[in-house]
Structure 1
Amino acid sequence: MVTACTPAGPQSTTAQVRVTDDGSIPKNESISLDDDKHAAIANLDQELLTAMRKAAADAKLAGVELRVTSGWRSAEHQQRLLDEAVELYRSEEEARRWVHPPEKSAHVTGKAIDIGPTNADDWLIQHGADYGLCQAYANEMWHFELLTTPGGQCPQPRSTT
Structure 2
Amino acid sequence: MTISEDGIPAVTNLDPDLLRALRQAATDAADDGVELFVNSGWRSPDYQDQLLREAVLKYGSEVEAARWVATPDTSPHVSGDAVDLGPAEATAWLSRRDAAYGLCQIYDNEPWHYELRPQAIDHGCPPRYADPTHDPRMQQ
Runs of 4+ aligned structure 1 residues displaced above 3 Å come to none
Report % sequence identity.
50
Match of 2:10 among 35, 40, 44: 40
Distance 2:32 2:47 in 1: 34
Distance 1:46 1:124 in 2: 19
* Counterparts of residues 30-69 of structure 1 (less than 5 Å): 38-69=8-39
**Structure 2 alignment gaps of length 5 or more:** 133-140
Distance 1:143 1:61 in 2: 22
Distance 1:45 1:75 in 2: 16
Specify the alignment match of 2:43 in structure 1: 73
Specify the alignment match of 2:128 in structure 1: 157
Distance 2:123 2:87 in 1: 25
Residue-pair matches, total: 131
Match of 2:86 among 116, 136, 151: 116
TM-score with structure 1 setting the length: 0.76
Distance 1:118 1:158 in 2: 20
CA contact (8 A) 1:45 1:110 kept: yes
TM-score with structure 2 setting the length: 0.87
